[in-house]
Amino acid sequence: MNAALSQDCGLPTPSQATNPDITPSAESILRIENLCVDYRTNTSGSRSSAKRTVDGLNLSVNQGEVFGFLGPNGAGKTTTMNVLLGFINATSGDAYLFGTTVREPIARQRIGYLPELTYYYKFLSAEELLRFYARIFKIPRAETERRIDQVLKLVELEHARKRQIKTYSKGMQQRVGLAQALINDPDLLILDEPTSGLDPIGRMKVREIIQRLKTEGKTVFFSSHELGEVETVCDRVAILDQGRLKLEGRVSDLAEQYRLSLEQLFLKVVGYSPSKPTHLPS
Amino acid sequence: MSTTLTIAGIVIKDLYRRKDFYVLFVLTALITLVMGSVNLFHDDHIVRYLKEMCLLLIWICSLVIAITTTARQIPMERESRTIFPLLAKPVTRTQVILGKFLGCWLACAITLLVFYLFFGVAAMSKEHQWPLANYFQAMTLHWIMLGVVVSMALVGSLVFSAASANTTICFVVVTFILLLGRHLDKVAMQVPQPASSALEALFFTIPHLEFFDLRDLVVHDWPPVRWLVCLKAIAYASAYAGFFLLAACLLFRRKALT
């Protein structure tokens, strides 16, 4: 975190806020080093300018952690995830999954990814979709069938396994997305706003699944705007604003240190000051 | 290779779960059977017209299936965002392009098998003979030609953002090549410079899809084409398909998905 900014907010630098027990060393499953991402934007006519969406980001996630990646819209969360998943290249710096640079496709062998609001191949059933992704991971046939049973049970879609995805509700589509992210029994799960657009029951179910994965020792890296949910589920959080890391630390430590809820802390970090309430005309 | 085949499998499933293929087949079968049920002028050779019409319908249907199936692949993946979970797996963009190409091309093979089988049965019911070598050559070269069309449509799907624009442009280009491609050199001799040079360059640049059209051979029961000529035609198509696939891979590697 920029020292001046942290002093402005009266908050410690990310390195100070980070638990000293956790060091980005041997156990680091995900590591981001000085990551910068620029986007070319067309301004006037044919002239283009670069907009920095991620600026010198350093982050590491350790094995077995549930890590919340927070920030307001446009903070650079999805861009960072896009770099981690190899969808876009970093302008400078690098990111590593299991010690392998994300530019190598093999880095994605042990990860599961759930994008925000994806509509899967609607002409396939859940079973066929999972079989398709299992084949990409070259999972043997018997093992594939066993895992399909297992993940469909976990996401509670056993009853609809043979139905085409086009007949699924939004919540069911999100759960089939979670099932595809789990088909290779990943060591790291990257979830981009997993509860976005879901009703309270759907959210609760997704949260339960994340908690169950945590008890199984999986590492989960997820972005969310649901701060209550993040507070419940996460071990550590990082708050990003305008492409820069503003705060990072254990949820329990941050709560103890600042005597603020995660939501209050988030608003303070991103510099939100509530305006005076306006009275609506009766 | 297994990843490419897996992606191809999804494209084939997409084809047989959509209604397009069945509608086109039923339409072709209906038109052919209605035409075959009447014997105009009591002409014994009327079966040639029937065969010609049926083969024309097969060519049109195969082009419709090849172009529309290919043109929607990448835009559909991007629109429904299925490209993201796919590329988040250990899959390269080249494998996605090759998988899509293989899937569309194999889907064309299935389509042609069904249509030519119907054609064979319909022709045999009138002629009581089955010139297998002719049918095999006609179908194989037809399929090889569709490989060039599929790879061309795949490049188009990366250049044009809307599938409908790509489909229309591909149809115009393929129709132009099939109808006018062979006459371009003759036209070039009759026009002044620089149009003459431009037309000549175009004549030597475009893939001559009409080389693969063996409909006359089937209709008139001519002897099969020499196999060496067929092999040369396959090599010619492979060069064009390879060029288009390389272009598609390079374009897709540079393409921003977000």
Residues 6+ apart with CB under 8 A from B1: none
pLDDT in tens, B162-205: 889 999 999 999 999 999 888 888 888 888 888 888 888 899 98
DSSP letters for A42-98: E-STT-EEEEEEEEEEEEEEETT-EEEEE--TTSSHHHHHHHHTTSS--SEEEEEET
Please name the residues in contact with B190: beta carbons below 8 A apart, sequence gap of 6 or more.
Answer: none
Provide the ipTM. 0.84
Out of A159-173, B27-41, B206-220, B240-254, least confident range: B27-41
pLDDT at A8 over 60: no
A 115-174 near B (Cβ less than 8 A): 115, 117-124, 128, 132-133, 135-138
pLDDT tens for each residue of B63-118? 999 999 999 999 999 888 899 999 989 899 999 999 999 999 999 999 999 999 99
Q: Which two tokens stand for residue B1?
A: 């290779």
- A181 touches B: beta carbon within 8 Å: yes
The reported pLDDT for the residue numbered A16 is 43
User: What pTM does this model have?
Assistant: 0.85
In this complex, how many residue pairs, one in chain A and one in chain B, have their CB atoms less than 8 Å apart?
81
Residue A194 corresponds to which tokens in the numbers above?
Answer: 């997993």
pLDDT greater than 50 at residue A13: no
* A113 has a chain B CB within 8 A of its CB: yes
- Measure CB to CB from residue B85 to each of A78, A113, A122 and give the nearest one: A113
**pLDDT bracket for residue A17 (50, 70, 90):** very low
Give me the helix-helix angle, A262-269 and A251-258, nearest 10°: 80
Distance from CA of B61 to the nearest CA of A (A): 22
Q: What is the pLDDT of residues A30-40, one digit of tens each?
A: 999 999 998 87
Read off the pLDDT band of A274 (50, 70, 90): low
Query: What is the tens place of the pLDDT at every residue in A51-89?
Result: 888 888 999 999 889 999 998 888 888 899 999 988 888
Tokens of A210: 């994340």
Closest Cβ opposite residue B3 in set A106, A119, A136: A136
